[in-house]
């Protein structure tokens, strides 16, 4: 019997992500690039996937367990493509599971297992049929499922919209779940990976419950499958995000602006008085009211968080302001909402103790009743959740878009939304008929400027809630930057360039003109050497000997200058 091959030891200390060629990302181990089994550099299309792969390498301890590095394995498969897979071949493999899907085969005996399958599997099949407009019917026993003849065509078109890396992820998840239905449910986030694995192992779980199992082996198997499927779903989502950004395709339906903040928490604000009334109410009369209110708050806070958490990570459609939530953040949002809901419900089950509440009836002040109902837990989950919602409501100026009852939109908001909808419809219409920005700008300018003027005349940032402000900012960016419809952006900068040129040439022209017109004046000097000149008059000394300079300027004005000399110039200079 041969010995098992020893696992390689971890030989690196630091794991990093660096920018590669063609906007790709690479993983380095102590500044050495990670390579695939065939020697290719491991490159991924986006930073999120790169960090996910890097975390697998960084999580290795003393030895490198490649069997646990599922994201790395998927990347290697895509890059090396050892089986020479194509989109068509991968789609064909996926469509084979339509007829052999694990959750389409029910027990052929009317027993507890069949009842459990009806309870767990049938709602999933129903959702799948409605979502993809197919008609898959379960089968009893091992007889072949009679699939809908159109189902494969519909699913083929669906899978054909994905790139090859995503299809590799679909196939990897489907092979582990033995179900294309459960895989698509996870991708669509209709259920968690843990729930999908439990449904795929439903019959096995049922049998082991009756016949016993080895706990540690079962747990390891379940954990390994969950790890594989989770890696596959993550791989699909991250590759899909990258391909969606590259192709600029937004797979969403057309919809108007959604009030993501105030439509969720307005109900809570309305019940603010109900909470305040607990200060004076008797516990016996308000216990039922509080219980109903808490149930409402649980649902409202969860919906509120789900919508507001998705808001910062939306991808706006270029033309219609539709929203595409990031799958990763949507998953985080779902987990957050579920955890909050579970926390509040667990506190509520502890707080709403009917016998304890009725013991507080009678002379007990209402404040004690409120404390017992709302604040008895140390974390004050319910109160803090409500305060958080109320704070965000005020911070987002939500009341600016509602009438005083906090449920009906005011006239200004309705009018602006109508203008916004008209502008978006105009842009969409001309974008479908003509991809020229000039035609869009020319035909939709009236509706856009009507929208913009109405918004500015109402005070913009002080007159509307944040949802309207966000919608206007997005519309302005699309109009001015992406479509280039602002008139001042379309005109060439001739005036500005001329001004700069004149400013640069002005000093040169000025000094050139000065040099040309203001020449230096040359003084003409005529020397006359006279002896014994002007014996009288100005030179009163008849014996004066010197030099008389007759200076004549350009205006022919003569000036006589006399300089005495000490030498006998008659002997050295000719007369």
pLDDT-derived band at 435, boundaries 50, 70, 90:
low
Q: Which pLDDT belongs to residue 339?
A: 56
405 lies in some domain: no
CA dihedral 276, 282, 285, 288 (to 10 degrees): 60
Q: Which pLDDT belongs to residue 515?
A: 78
Which CATH number belongs to the domain containing residue 35 in this structure?
Answer: 3.30.2180
Give the integer Cα–Cα distance in Å for 442 and 172: 51
Which of 243, 278, 235, 293 is closest to 77 using CA atoms?
235
Q: Which pLDDT belongs to residue 182?
A: 94
268 shares a domain with 237: no
C-beta separation of 273 from 210 below 8 A: no
- Helix or strand or coil: residue 547? strand
503 lies in some domain: no
State yes or no: pLDDT of 32 exceeds 70. Answer: yes
Which CATH number belongs to the domain containing residue 233 in this structure?
Answer: 1.10.3580.10
Q: 148 vs 33, which has greater pLDDT?
A: 33
Q: 286 vs 210, which has greater pLDDT?
A: 210
9 lies in some domain: no
274 lies in some domain: yes
Residue range of the domain that includes 217: 87-247
State yes or no: pLDDT of 184 exceeds 50. Answer: yes
185 shares a domain with 147: yes
Q: Which pLDDT belongs to residue 303?
A: 55
281 lies in some domain: yes
| Mean pLDDT along residues 5-20 | 86
434 shares a domain with 357: no
C-beta separation of 126 from 182 below 8 A: no
CA dihedral 473, 475, 481, 485 (to 10 degrees): -130
Instruction: Determine which of 2-16, 65-79, 215-229 has the lowest per-residue pLDDT on average.
Output: 215-229
Please state, rounded to an integer, the average pLDDT across all residues of the chain. 70
207 shares a domain with 180: yes
353 shares a domain with 271: yes
232 shares a domain with 93: yes
- Name the one residue in this structure whose structure tokens are 């971890």: 10
505 lies in some domain: no
The β-bridge relationship of strands 105-106 and 139-140 is parallel
| Mean pLDDT along residues 93-120 | 88
Mark which of 396, 419, 454 sits at the end of a domain. 396
Give the integer Cα–Cα distance in Å for 247 and 312: 22
Give the integer Cα–Cα distance in Å for 267 and 391: 14
Eight-state DSSP code of residue 213: -
| Mean pLDDT along residues 196-220 | 73
**What number of other Cβ atoms are within 10 A of residue 435's Cβ?**
9
Q: 126 vs 350, which has greater pLDDT?
A: 126
How many Cα atoms within 13 Å fall on the side-chain side of residue 337?
20
70 shares a domain with 212: no
Looking at 201-326, list the stretches that DSSP marks H as alpha helix, in order from N- to C-terminal side: 202-211, 215-247, 262-270, 272-276, 283-310
User: Could you give the C-alpha distances from 321 to 133, 316, 402, 463, 471, in angstroms and in order?
Assistant: 27, 5, 22, 21, 7
Strands of 524-528's sheet, edge to edge? 524-528, 546-552, 558-564
pTM > 0.85? no
Count of domains for the chain: 5
Tell me the per-residue pLDDT of 469-502, one tens digit each, with 9 for 90 and over: 888 888 888 888 777 777 554 455 677 778 888 8
Using the CB atoms, write b or e for 156-171: b if 16+ within 10 Å. Answer: eeebeebbbbbbbbbb
Tell me the per-residue pLDDT of 69-104, one tens digit each, with 9 for 90 and over: 999 999 999 999 999 999 999 999 999 998 889 898
Q: Which pLDDT belongs to residue 114?
A: 87
125 shares a domain with 269: no
- Residues of the chain with pLDDT > 70, as a percent, come to 56
Mark which of 223, 247, 271 sits at the end of a domain. 247
122 lies in some domain: yes
Q: Tokens in use for 482? A: 């992406």
Q: Tokens in use for 89? A: 């071949």
Give the integer Cα–Cα distance in Å for 201 and 221: 11
- Name the one residue in this structure whose structure tokens are 């808001």: 311
Residue 310 CB contacts under 8 Å (≥ 6 apart), including other chains: 260, 323, 325, 329, 330, 333
200 shares a domain with 179: yes
Sign for the pseudo-dihedral over CA of 266, 268, 274, 280: negative
282 shares a domain with 149: no
224 shares a domain with 154: yes
321 lies in some domain: yes
Tell me the per-residue pLDDT of 397-407, one tens digit each, with 9 for 90 and over: 777 777 765 55
94 shares a domain with 73: no
Which of 373, 348, 379, 399 is closest to 277 using CA atoms?
373
């Amino acid at each position: 019997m041969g010995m098992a091959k020893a696992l390689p030891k971890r030989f690196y200390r630091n794991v990093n992500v660096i920018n590669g060629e063609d906007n790709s990302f690479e993983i380095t181990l102590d500044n050495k690039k990670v390579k695939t089994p065939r020697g290719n550099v491991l490159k991924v299309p986006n930073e999120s996937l790169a960090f996910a792969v890097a975390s697998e390498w960084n999580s290795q301890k003393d030895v490198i367990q490649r069997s646990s590095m599922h994201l790395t394995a998927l990347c290697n498969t895509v890059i090396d493509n050892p089986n020479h897979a194509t989109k068509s071949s991968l789609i064909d493999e996926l469509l084979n599971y339509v007829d052999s899907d694990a959750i389409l085969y029910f027990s052929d005996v009317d027993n507890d297992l069949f009842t459990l399958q009806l309870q767990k599997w049938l709602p999933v099949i129903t959702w799948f049929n409605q979502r993809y407009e197919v008609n898959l019917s379960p089968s009893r026993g091992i007889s072949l499922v009679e699939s809908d003849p159109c189902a494969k065509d519909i699913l083929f078109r669906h899978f054909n919209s994905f790139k090859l890396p995503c299809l590799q992820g679909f196939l990897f998840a489907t092979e582990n779940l033995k179900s294309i239905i459960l895989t698509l449910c996870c991708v669509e986030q209709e259920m968690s990976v843990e729930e999908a694995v439990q449904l795929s192992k439903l019959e096995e779980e049922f049998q082991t419950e009756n016949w016993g199992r080895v706990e540690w082996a079962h747990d390891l198997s379940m954990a390994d499958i969950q790890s594989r499927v989770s890696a596959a779903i993550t791989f699909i989502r991250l590759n899909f995000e990258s391909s969606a950004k590259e192709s600029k395709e937004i797979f969403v339906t057309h919809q108007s602006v959604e009030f993501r903040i105030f439509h969720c928490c307005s109900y809570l604000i309305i019940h603010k008085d109900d909470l305040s009334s607990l200060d004076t109410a008797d516990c016996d009369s308000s216990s039922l009211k509080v219980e109903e209110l808490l149930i409402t708050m649980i649902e409202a806070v969860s919906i509120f968080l789900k919508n507001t958490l998705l808001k910062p990570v939306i991808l706006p459609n270029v033309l219609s302001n539709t929203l595409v939530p990031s799958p990763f953040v949507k998953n985080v949002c779902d987990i957050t909402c579920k955890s909050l809901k579970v926390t509040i419900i667990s506190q509520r089950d502890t707080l709403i103790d009917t016998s304890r509440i009725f013991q507080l009836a009678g002379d007990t002040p209402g404040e004690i009743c409120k404390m017992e109902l709302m604040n008895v837990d140390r974390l004050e989950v319910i109160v803090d959740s409500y305060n958080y919602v109320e704070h965000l409501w005020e911070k987002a100026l939500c009341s600016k878009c509602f009438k005083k009852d906090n449920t009906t939109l005011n006239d200004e908001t309705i009018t602006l939304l109508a203008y916004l909808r008209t502008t978006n419809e105009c842009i969409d219409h001309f974008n479908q008929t003509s991809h020229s920005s000039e035609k869009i700008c020319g035909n939709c300018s009236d509706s856009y400027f009507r929208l913009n003027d109405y918004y500015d005349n109402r005070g913009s940032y002080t007159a509307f809630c944040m949802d309207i402000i966000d919608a206007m900012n997005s519309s302005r960016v699309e109009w001015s930057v992406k479509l280039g419809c602002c008139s001042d952006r379309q005109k060439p900068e001739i005036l500005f360039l001329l001004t700069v040129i004149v400013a640069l040439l002005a000093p040169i022209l000025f000094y050139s003109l000065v040099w040309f017109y203001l020449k230096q004046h040359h003084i003409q000097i005529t020397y006359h050497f006279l002896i014994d000149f002007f014996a009288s008059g100005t030179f009163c000394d008849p014996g004066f000997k010197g030099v008389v300079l007759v200076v004549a300027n350009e205006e022919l004005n003569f000036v006589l200058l006399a300089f005495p000399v000490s030498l006998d110039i008659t002997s050295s200079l000719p007369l």
